[in-house]
Every structure is written in structure tokens, then in C-alpha cells.
Amino acid sequence: MTGLERALAKLKKRNEEIAEAKKKKDREKDRIRKAKYRKALKEQKLKEEKLKEKQLKEEKIKAEKEREKAERKSTVKRKRKRTTVAHLKKVKAMQNKRYYDKKRAKLFEERKKEHDRYGRYKVVIMKDRKRITYIGKPVFLWRNDAFKAYEEAVEKNHSTVLCPIKIRQTPGGVAINKKLYRDTTYEILLLEKTDSDDKVVKLRNNDGKLIDNVIVDADYKIVSKKPWFVEESFNVYGHHPLKDRKDAHFILNNMLLKDVSHDNIKRVFVFYNKFVIQYDGDFDFVTCKSKREADRLYMLMEKCITKLKLNKYILFTDRLTSYMTLWFVNEMVKKTGWSRNACARGD
């Protein structure tokens, strides 16, 4: 056998070995594929059997419920024939009582987990130590609900009231037209009903001192107390001084911010007890109770305009200078038709 024949025989043998290895590999792949198919088929069969078993179980439960329902209906029918209306009402009342007892017990457990307390609570607005209205419900049965209503009312009130009523106080009370009256105060109170005779609670006053607080003619004690703000009302020229008084929101939105622009720059100043807004050859004004009240409104409006970053369109020039007084009195006489004394008067 020559070298060439040996090489060919060797190559042939090698090719046969490669073909045999390939067949072996293909047989192994086929075996794995068939095993996977049998496994998937088996899983599908098990799944179908479980689904069928579940359906049979559901049908059995449904049939059992229908049977029980039919039995109850037949029982109720038989009982209805031999019961009176009064008896049915009694049964219904007992069923309702059991239902609400369970519901109440569940609620008590939930509230107990939240460290809440059952009782009778009220959130009231007081004026001069007399109740004028309730906040939320007339009576809250849970402490957390009452506190939530109390805090929400305080937060909303303190954030929305722009210019609270503020009366000048004197040692003997409030001075109006040189007469002394007691101070007018508004407060919001959180009250809790108590069976105890000791209803005195120590709360801090405006100076930070702890003082006794008590409700004398009620079975309630004070849990918390905060000041309550009420919007001050102003006499705006062009509106009725008593029936159509306006608050600080109206003055800010409908007078100061109305039509303000680069071409319509406004000037704000104080003339005695009058808060004046001058614009484009004309002016509007608000008559306040006193010079101090006019200054308070002026500072409040200046603060709001500064916050809105409109100082370049609305100029605040403080009190009217003495050499401009004659001009402004003349302009007021033209606009209002009042006498010069009425225009120049600062009370």
C-alpha cells in the first residue's frame, strides 16, 4: 500500500468518525427534545386535572350554597306564615343590634391600636368668652377626630385671614370714641366632656404665663385654646360704608393689582386715616378707623406687593408730605364733593 492510499484510508476513517459523532450528537438532542416534550405534556395534563378538580369543587360549593339558600327561603316562608309584624320588627332590631355591636367593637379595637380615646369633644369658636359657632360636628366621639378638625381649622384660618381685626387696647378695655369697652377677643377651643368637678386647666397666655382656664357653666373642660382671626372690614370709597364694607383681599386684588402694568404705575400713600391708591390721573382711597389702622393696612399691602415682586409697578411713598396736602385735599373735594373740612379731617 502506497503512502497516498494510506493517507486516503486515514482520511476516510476520520470522516466516518466525524459522521458517527454527529449522528450520536443528533440522537442525544432528539432524546432531550422528546424528554422535554413528554415533561411538558405531563405538566399540561396535571394542570388540566387540577383545573378540572377546582371547577368540580367550585360547582359543588355553589350547589351547596344554592341548596342552603333554598332551604333558608323555604324556612323563612314557613315562619312568615305564622309570625306577626311585631315579631318581625323585633327580629330585625336584634339583627341590627348584633351588626352594630360587632361594628362598634371592631372600631374600638382599631382606635385602641391608634392610641385614640373615646369621649365627647367639641371644637367651638368663642367671642368674648361666648360660643358663637361649632367647627365640624356638634360633638366628636373620638379625640383624634376632634384634634384633626381643630388643627385643620386653625391652619386654614391663620393662612387665609390677611388682616385680622385688631382693636387698640387700653388698661380699662377698648377705647372707642373716648368711651371704655371691654376687649373683644375671638378664640377657638377644643373641649372635652368630663364628670369631674375639677375643670381647671392651666394654659399659657400671650405673655407666656400659665393661667387657670375654666368653663363655669358646662360639663366640659378646655383641652387646647388658640386665637381665632376674623377679617377686618374697611370703608372703601364708592361702596356703602356699612352694608358693603370690603376686606384686605378685595383691596389687594381688586384695587392694587387691578390693571397694574408698566404703562399704569400706581402710587400708594397714607393721608391721615386714609389709605390712598393713585393711578393715571385718578385715585381710590380707603377710610380706616384711625391713623394707626391706616398705617397697618399700608404696611400689610407693601409686604404683599414685595412678596409678589411688583414694587417697580406699585410705589409705596409712606405718608403724604406737608406740601402735597393742599393738592390732595383739592383733588378729594373734586372727586367726592365733600367739604374741605371732611376731606382734611383725619379721625
- Integer CA distances (angstroms), 206 to 129, 182, 214, 323, in order: 16, 17, 17, 43
- Write the pLDDT tens digit of every residue in 215-229: 766 788 888 888 899
Amino acid at 5: E
Residues 69-97 have pLDDT tens digits of 888 777 766 655 555 677 778 888 888 88
pLDDT for res 11: 81
Q: What mean pLDDT do residues 153-163 have?
A: 91
CB-based contact 294:274 (threshold 8 Å): yes
pTM given for the model: 0.60
Q: Mean of the per-residue pLDDT values for the chain? A: 83
Instruction: Express each pLDDT in 177-190 by its tens digit.
Output: 555 555 578 889 99
pLDDT on residue 198: 67
Residue 291's pLDDT is 87
| Under 8 Å between Cβ of 139 and 120 | yes
Confidence check: pLDDT of 298 > 90: yes
Q: What is the pLDDT of residue 212?
A: 64
**Chain centroid to CA 156: how far?**
8
Residue 203, φ and ψ in degrees, nearest 5: -130, 155
E-only strand ranges, the chain = 118-127, 130-134, 140-142, 169-170, 173-176, 179-181, 186-193, 201-204, 210-213, 220-227, 235-236, 266-271, 274-279, 282-287, 314-319
The pLDDT assigned to 178 comes to: 57
Determine the Cα–Cα distance for residues 305 and 296; give it in Å rounded to an integer.
Answer: 14
Q: Report the first-to-last Cα separation within the chain, whole angstroms.
A: 141
- Rounded mean pLDDT, 49-68: 89
Distances 201 to 24, 85, 223, 224 between C-alpha atoms, Å: 96, 54, 8, 9
pLDDT digits (tens, 9 = 90+) for 227-286: 899 888 899 999 998 899 999 999 999 989 888 888 888 999 999 889 999 988 889 999
Note the pLDDT of residue 172: 53
What is the rounded CA–CA span in Å between residue 141 and residue 33?
Answer: 71
Residue with cell 378729594: 332
Q: pLDDT at position 134, please?
A: 85
Dihedral sign, CA of 212, 213, 216, 220?
A: negative
pLDDT at 328 over 70: yes
Mean pLDDT on 128-136: 83
- How many Cβ atoms are within 10 Å of 287's Cβ, its own excluded? 15
Least confident range of 8-12, 157-161, 195-199 = 195-199
Domain ranges of the chain: 118-227, 235-344
Higher per-residue pLDDT: 308 or 172: 308
Provide the pLDDT confidence category of residue 152 given band limits of 50, 70 and 90: very high
pLDDT confidence band for 132 (50 / 70 / 90): confident
Alpha-carbon gap, residue 158 to 167, rounded angstroms? 18
pLDDT of residue 301: 93
User: What is the model's pLDDT at position 277?
Assistant: 92
Query: Which residues lie below 8 Å from residue 166, measured CB to CB, with a gap of 6+?
Result: 232, 293, 296
Label residue 324 by pLDDT band (50, 70, 90): confident
